[in-house]
Amino acid sequence: MAPSQLVVGAQILTLGLTFIILCRRFCSPLKTIPGPPLASVSRFWHIYHIIKGDQNLQLVNLHDKYGHFVRIAHNEVSVSHPEGIKKILLAPLRKASWYKFLSIPDYRYQTPMSTTDPKKKVERSRHLAAGYTMSNILQAEDSIDNVILQLLTWLDRSAESKEAVHLDKHLTYTAFDIAGEVLFSKQFGFLKEGRDVGNAIANGLVLSLYASTMGFFRWVHVIMIGNPFITSLNILPFGHLFDTTVRALDERLDNRDRSRFDVVDHWLKAMEKNPDQVSLRDVYAAATGAVGAASDTMSCALQSFVYFMVRHPNAWQRACEEIEQAQKKQGLCRDRIVKFADAQKLPVLQACIKEALRLFGPVPMTLPRIAPPGGLAIGNKLFPEGTIVSINPWVMHHSRESWGHDAREFNPDRWLQGDSRALDRYFMPWGQGYNSCPGQHIARIELSKITATLVRDYRIRQVDQNQTWQWKAYFTLVPHSWPCYIERRRLKD
Q: Which residues fall in the annotated binding site for heme?
A: 437
Report the C-alpha gap between 482 and 27 in whole angstroms: 49
Q: Evaluate whether 170 touches 154 at the Cβ level (below 8 Å).
A: yes
383 vs 30, 33, 38, 80, 477, CA distance in Å? 8, 10, 20, 14, 30
Q: Which residues are annotated as a binding site?
A: 437
d(CA 355, CA 414): 8
Dihedrals phi, psi of 76, to nearest 5 degrees: -135, 135
Q: Are 277 and 199 spatial neighbours (Cβ–Cβ below 8 Å)?
A: no
* Angle ∠(86,91,97) on CA atoms, nearest 5: 115
Do 170 and 155 form a contact (C-beta atoms < 8 A)?
Answer: yes
Residue 298 makes CB contacts below 8 A (sequence gap 6+) with: 175, 178, 179, 362, 442, 443, 446, 447
